[in-house]
Amino acid sequence: MRFRSAFSLAMIAATAVLLTAAAGRTAAAAEDTTARATVPVETFTLDNGMTILLVRQPEKSTVTAGWVAHVGSSNEKPGMTGISHLFEHMMFKGSHVIGTKDIKRDLEIIADQEKLQETIRLAYEQQRARYRRGEIDDPFDPKSRPAELVELEKSFQALVDEQRSLMVKDEFDKVYTEAGGSQMNAFTNQDMTVYFITVPANKLELWFWMESDRLGTPVFREFYSERDVVHEERRLRTESTPTGKFDEMFEAMFWESHPYTWPVVGWPSDLQAISKAQADDYFSTYYAPNNVTAAIVGNFDTAQVKELARRYFGRIPRGSKQPPTVPTLEMTQMAEKRMNAECDCQPQATVWYHTVPFRHKDSYALDVLGGLMNGQTGRLQKSLVLDRKIATNASASQNSMKWAGAFAFTAESKGGATPGELESAWYDEAKKIVDEPIPAEELQKVKNQIAADAFRRLDSPFFLMIQLLVYDGEGDWTYLQDWAEKTSAVTEADVKRVAKTYLTKENRTVGLYDRKAGTAAEEAPPELSGLPAEAMPMIQSQLKALKEKVAGMNDPAELEKMLAKMHESESAAPEPFRKVMPLFTKVVEDRLKAVRESGGQPAPAPAAPVSPSAPSGTHGGGAQ
């Protein structure tokens, strides 16, 4: 069970930004590090409401740039879940200029497709009615479709095929790549959708043109067929992983009233029902410039950037309506919730507690509480892993999202230890925080580590850009400037207070995973040793998802393209994550070799190992 993870090497790197604070590295004094961690950010706002954040680094030869749309799965509603993530895919389909040989016919086909889809949607309403009457088991099963619906979908497919004949495949990617761009990707989570790339300093105007073009005049080609791509992602990341469906169920159980209850990828039946008209309205509301913030880090002239921003982004009109807020608050949990599951996985336990959202005054003390528990010298490593030897890894962390938050403990068993033993051991450690003194040197060491890591993450232009966008997406990019200082001000009394307040029985949801009879454990790759404990399951499940993805790929050019993107991401990854990147590239290299040896015919798929855990939450899509 993990907060926000993704199948994307760029997202593994971005996730590392949030995980390195738990890595337990030696740090200098907190006061000195905090003073150095301030970033010289210049901001300005265009007349249409779009905000631009600038960090000038003239010693660099590149510019890392991106933008965040303040929209994620929490902005959705029942019947339209998954639309935010679907848009992440659609934003790489091009515009009136990019991605087509004939824009006039292209738009005509889209209009014809929508007319046909109106009839198809009515047919599926009848299918759902048949399902409710018990006449069919699945309204979307091809075997259950009546003849009329089959003919309608054949007609629709003919339009899709014609449109594809007019498309310039991956032109958005090609334009950037030919100009020296790298690390192009995107990700969606509960609160935001982020797009980013690195370009040579002399190609910054290209970035302004490309990004303003897809924001101002996007064309959502293959809108309905792209839903199939999303379904395949769901299969790989949720349905085909050992704990994926259970993790999804656990999160839906944890969040009772808040929109965080549904998965970022959406419910499958909702994806089938979303119309392009609904999507157009969603885009005009949430992708309007007044709901977007851009961040640019690297070698540029500030005056020139402001002029380019006004020329390109400034031409996009402000949205006609203000994006609505999320009014629903999570209901106070009144009793413990529990889930017991059996899966083809390492026995494990997870305990979540409702806590506080981003920027709440208690979030800093909860971060320190997580720091006390985590890392190679943290309490969970010492107690559960080294002393009691009941866990291979254990971690605890605070996740302060935009609208609400959660504190989570998770551990995987070792030897014959049961999930119940892991759960009990966690309660012992939490109780010690409340009942026993916290040594001053231990508390200071944790605060020093957090402050030093805050500074350390500013070294990379890529990670700095990602942090600016993520924190802005949560509600306030200036968190980057004062987080370390506020964390350093946390006292022992603060930590004890938040532990006593939030880590209560009635406020928790417990998930226990036992190994299913007849399944066997698998050793983790040695390359994962030395990683933060909370990162290992995520990366193992990412690795399994990649193996499943390439198993169905038989085009050497596509595999070579994927490999090139991995090498780009490898250079951006921080230590110690960089050493795991070869695990991913080898998967693609092996598949590419098999395809070439088969002479271009479908090659036998490599065996996919059993992963002990699965990702949940978000993922990078678009440009993979």
* Confidence grade of residue 538 (pLDDT, cut at 50, 70, 90): low
* Residue 531 pLDDT class (50, 70, 90 cuts): low
Q: What is the torsional sign of CA 62, 169, 287, 229?
A: negative
Task: State residue 64 phi and psi, 5-degree precision.
Answer: -105, 125
Q: Which of 476, 452, 512 is nearest to 21 (CA)?
A: 452
Check if the beta carbon of residue 534 is closer than 8 Å to that of residue 19. Answer: yes
Q: How far is the C-alpha of 248 from the C-alpha of 236, rounded, in Å?
A: 14
Tens of pLDDT, residue by residue over 293-344, are 999 999 999 999 999 999 999 999 999 999 999 999 999 999 999 999 998 8
The answer, yes or no, to whether residue 563 has pLDDT greater than 70, is: yes
Residue 204's nearest CA partner among 338, 57, 86, 77 is 57
Structure tokens at 613: 């855990």
DSSP 333-388: P-S-EEEEEEESS--EEEEEEE---TT-TTHHHHHHHHHHH-STTSHHIIIIIIIS
pLDDT at residue 608 in the model: 35
Question: How many residues are listed for the chain in this entry?
Answer: 624
Integer Rg of the chain from CA: 24
Predicted confidence band of residue 533 (pLDDT cuts 50, 70, 90): low
Per-residue pLDDT band at 231 (split at 50, 70, 90)? confident
Do 445 and 28 meet the contact criterion of CB atoms below 8 Å apart?
no
Label residue 215 exposed, middle or buried (CB < 10 Å: 0-12, 13-18, 19+). Answer: buried
Under a CB-based contact definition with an 8 Å cutoff, are residues 566 and 9 in contact?
A: yes
CB of 386 closer than 8 Å to CB of 394: no
pLDDT at 31 over 50: no
pLDDT value for 410:
95
The H-assigned helical ranges of 95-170 are: 103-132, 147-166
pLDDT at residue 199 above 90? yes
Separation of alpha carbons 590 and 600, rounded Å: 14
pLDDT at 524: 63
350 conformational bin, left if phi > 0, alpha if psi -120 to 50, beta if neither: beta
- What the block records as the tokens of 556 is 């050497």
In sequence order, the β-bridge partners of residue 295 are 53, 66
C-alpha dist (Å) from residue 539 to 12, 15, 17, 55, 257: 8, 10, 14, 31, 31
Confidence of residue 118 (pLDDT cuts 50, 70, 90): very high
Higher pLDDT, 583 or 397: 397
Residue 10 has pLDDT above 80, yes or no: no
Is residue 27 left, alpha or beta, with left meaning phi > 0 and alpha meaning psi from -120 to 50? beta
Reduced to 3 states (helix: H, G, I; strand: E, B; else coil), residue 103 is helix
The pLDDT of residue 257 is above 90: yes
Residue 242: count of CB within 10 angstroms of its CB: 23
SS3 (DSSP) at 30: helix
Q: Confidence band (pLDDT; 50, 70, 90) for 5?
A: very low
Sheet holding 292-298, edge to edge: 42-45, 51-56, 292-298, 62-69, 193-200, 182-188, 619-620
Flag whether pLDDT at 26 surpasses 90: no
d(CA 410, CA 398): 12
Q: Is 523 helix (H, G, I), strand (E, B) or coil?
A: coil
Q: Which strands, in side-by-side order, build the sheet including 337-343?
A: 337-343, 508-515, 348-354, 405-413, 391-400
Please indicate whether residue 451 or residue 135 has the higher confidence score (pLDDT): 135
Decide if 155 contacts 116 (C-beta within 8 A). yes
Token pair of 568 as six digits: 């780009």
Please write the tens of the pLDDT for every residue from 565-621.
777 776 666 666 677 888 888 888 888 888 888 875 544 443 333 332 322 333 334
* Residue found under tokens 């690297």: 298
Are 487 and 370 in contact by the 8 Å Cβ rule? The answer is no
Block residue for tokens 């994620």: 72
pLDDT of 403 > 60? The answer is yes
Before 576, cis peptide (omega within 30)?
Answer: yes
Residue matched to tokens 């003849």: 147
pTM to 2 decimal places: 0.84
Confidence of residue 21 (pLDDT cuts 50, 70, 90): very low
CA distances to 194, 206, 263 from 287, rounded to whole Å, are: 11, 20, 21
Q: Please name the residue ranges forming H helices in 328-395.
A: 363-373, 379-380
Which residue spans within 189-333 are E strands per DSSP? 193-200, 292-298
